[in-house]
Structure 1
């Protein structure tokens, strides 16, 4: 998903007179004529802190004789940044997923003609020239065999080292569902209810887990290939992904290069080139513009006819394997077992 600050806020409202005036005229044409016409009917799942921010933003929109300027425009921009970043965090930063468990689809058969290439411990030069520069996905083997987590990590181990930690729990099959919401619980409660209990499914996507639990961070290391990027090591975002069989990340794209390292369990993954974006029917809303509307494994080809034109590659990512997902590459992920993965987002 797009990182906080990556989208475009109402910066033009605080810019020069010409640019700001033209942009504001377009925005104003989309708004109701009076402030009371812009209703703020929100779901009961939205946190209480959001509504006052929206009311404040609405007041700024209709203040200053119908056009915010100066300090009001700057305040409106800051509110837009806060609300956008709040939305991004709710969608991406710490979600767990829960849904009623049904019989999962069978394990897909990856046909040779669509199978991703596998390479064992390529040199930095080989990876750079054959995959990074041409932006081609690849499964890397043998590069995390030395990680302590490959021998230590299990469901029981997480109960021991992180069981008392309180984490956000996401309710809903995937973040695109209308009924999606969140609650808080400890890791132990989550494992007991959603990993051990087979009636429901939960999923952890937590980018702060390794900072909060040093024991886990000591068991992994940043892949050497990240040194080929333009950023510093401190700029690399490390994410934890933990959940049972059947959890899904819908087809989406991310704004950075990604190494997805599989510690235990298996994942079925499909990749589509950014060149096929038009055939993947991204959502029209700004928040979900990098998420496809198509259910990859059960597509509605009447509603999305061009999806059949999109070429894909796929793999079943096994423990010890690392998938390189180039920036902006569309990817769909379904866990085939209780699974733990670590991803590294880098530039």
Structure 2
């Protein structure tokens, strides 16, 4: 038995009005296939181009090791020159990923390759972020701390995206005081005997190809797996739903600080307790004894 996932709807292109009415207002995901063909990035952006333009920059790398109490929030696991990293991506599968890499700050000339599209939402201009990964590398199932509306543009190769909305939290083995699920769940091929509550979760799935954009509504959980080496850019718009905006403010100013304090006081015991609570709370919510 597999996860209960339906295909994310796909459109070739979309007007602002249709996007707002059919996807933003009902908070449904969509893949837009041919929205950025007029961007220079559409024909230019690939791994070789990134190596050429940003090869000398040292980049922070992350892998899929479990959270350790000693790690700071989003602390890098390794660093490498961009040129060496891209050589590694092309040579062999690697767990190392780049995430939340602000291209405007690092390589301002890349800004000339794309424009901020008008989807009817005000996009945050200072925060275009790039994400890179090698074949079969993946991000843990998580949602973003600010519960933003996210437009995820993919370049080179193929990437699998699995999404859940916030209503599915009770089935996902969510870790308390954090933005992730249990890290030992393989969402590409989950063991449903070990994680039975996942059978009750209803989600979405798509494979993104070069030049396609995925709209992820506010606070959607997402798991991303690189089928081939590649990279994506995210543009975001602030959460509009007052409840989500409230959660975002709580996450940034209270939850994150509380979690950091508890890590300092309790160390690994705090992480272990949270992992255990994820199972206890999820089972309780299913009425599974």
Q: Assess same fold via TM > 0.5.
A: yes
Task: Give the Cα separation in 1 of the matches to 2:65 and 2:217.
Answer: 23
The structure 2 residue matched to 1:200, chosen from 94, 108, 113, is 94
The structure 2 residue matched to 1:242, chosen from 123, 132, 136, is 132
The structure 1 residue matched to 2:111, chosen from 210, 213, 217, is 217
Whether 2:217 is the aligned partner of 1:326: answer yes
Q: 1:263 to 1:131 in 2, by over 3 A?
A: same
CA contact (8 A) 1:259 1:345 kept: yes
> Which of the pair has more CA radius of gyration?
1
CA contact (8 A) 2:11 2:30 kept: yes
Residue aligned with 1:259, SS: strand
Q: 1:299 to 1:201 in 2, by over 3 A?
A: closer
Cα offset for 1:308?
0.7
Task: Give the Cα separation in 2 of the matches to 1:179 and 1:250.
Answer: 19
Whether 2:76 is the aligned partner of 1:184: answer no
Residue aligned with 1:228, SS: coil
Residue equivalent to 1:12: none
TM-score, normalising length from structure 2?
0.72
Task: Give the Cα separation in 1 of the matches to 2:40 and 2:200.
Answer: 43
Task: Give the Cα separation in 2 of the matches to 1:263 and 1:278.
Answer: 33
Q: 1:220 to 1:174 in 2, by over 3 A?
A: farther
CA deviation profile, 1:61-97 (whole Å, cap 9, x unmatched): xxxxxxxxxxxxxxxxxxxxxxxxxxxxxxxxxxxxx
Q: Larger relative CO (CA 8 A, sep 6+): 1 or 2? A: 2
Residue aligned with 1:130, SS: helix
CA contact (8 A) 1:110 1:316 kept: no
CA contact (8 A) 2:90 2:229 kept: no
Structure 2 unmatched ranges of 5 or more: 239-289
TM-score, normalising length from structure 1?
0.61
Residue aligned with 1:161, SS: helix
Whether 2:177 is the aligned partner of 1:272: answer no
Task: Give the Cα separation in 2 of the matches to 1:261 and 1:253.
Answer: 17
The structure 2 residue matched to 1:147, chosen from 23, 39, 49, is 39
Cα offset for 1:202?
2.2
Q: 1:247 to 1:259 in 2, by over 3 A?
A: same
Cα offset for 1:222?
1.5
Cα offset for 1:110?
11
RMSD of aligned residue pairs (Cα, Å): 2.5
Structure 1 unmatched ranges of 5 or more: 1-108
